[in-house]
A and B are shown apart, each in its own frame.
Chain A
Amino acid sequence: EAQVTQNPRYLITVTGKKLTVTCSQNMNHEYMSWYRQDPGLGLRQIYYSMNVEVTDKGDVPEGYKVSRKEKRNFPLILESPSPNQTSLYFCASSPTSEYEQYFGPGTRLTVT
Chain B
Amino acid sequence: GENVEQHPSTLSVQEGDSAVIKCTYSDSASNYFPWYKQELGKRPQLIIDIRSNVGEKKDQRIAVTLNKTAKHFSLHITETQPEDSAVYFCAASVGTGGFKTIFGAGTRLFVKA
Question: In whole Å, how far is B104's beta carbon from the nearest beta carbon of chain A?
Answer: 6
Query: How far does the alpha carbon of A75 sit from the alpha carbon of B104 in the complex, in Å?
Result: 25
Residues of B near A99 (CB, < 8 A) are 32
> Given that A43-B89, A98-B31, A100-B49 are contacting pairs, would A50 and B99 also be in contact in the complex, using a CB cutoff of 8 Å?
yes
> Is B45's CB under 8 angstroms from A97's CB?
no
> Is A98's CB under 8 angstroms from B89's CB?
no
> Given that A42-B89, A42-B106 are contacting pairs, would A101 and B100 also be in contact in the complex, using a CB cutoff of 8 Å?
no
> Given that A59-B1, A105-B43 are contacting pairs, would A100 and B34 also be in contact in the complex, using a CB cutoff of 8 Å?
yes
Q: Which residue of A lies closest to B32 (CB)?
A: A98
- Counting residue pairs across A and B whose Cβ atoms lie within 8 Å, the total is 58
Query: How far does the alpha carbon of A42 sit from the alpha carbon of B102 in the complex, in Å?
Result: 9
Q: State whether the Cβ of B44 lies closer than 8 Å to any Cβ in chain A.
A: yes
Cβ contact of A97, chosen from B6, B9, B46, B97, cutoff 8 A? B97
Q: State whether the Cβ of B86 lies closer than 8 Å to any Cβ in chain A.
A: no
Q: Which residue of B lies closest to A33 (CB)?
A: B101
Interface size on B, residues (CB 8 A): 25
Q: State whether the Cβ of B105 lies closer than 8 Å to any Cβ in chain A.
A: yes
Cβ contact of A103, chosen from B44, B49, B104, cutoff 8 A? B44
* 0/1 string, A30-63, CB within 8 A of B gives 1: 0101010000111111001010000010110000
Q: A97-B98, A103-B45 are in contact. List 19 more A-B contacts (CB 8 A).
A: A33-B101, A40-B9, A41-B105, A42-B105, A43-B44, A45-B100, A48-B100, A50-B99, A97-B32, A97-B97, A97-B99, A98-B32, A98-B51, A98-B98, A100-B34, A100-B49, A101-B101, A105-B43, A106-B43
A to B CB contacts below 8 Å, 26 in the list: A33-B101, A35-B103, A42-B103, A42-B104, A43-B44, A45-B103, A50-B97, A50-B99, A56-B99, A58-B100, A58-B101, A59-B1, A59-B100, A90-B43, A97-B32, A97-B97, A97-B99, A98-B51, A98-B93, A98-B98, A100-B46, A101-B34, A101-B46, A103-B44, A103-B45, A106-B43
CB within 8 Å of A: which residues of B?
1, 6, 9, 31-32, 34, 43-46, 49, 51, 89, 91, 93, 97-106
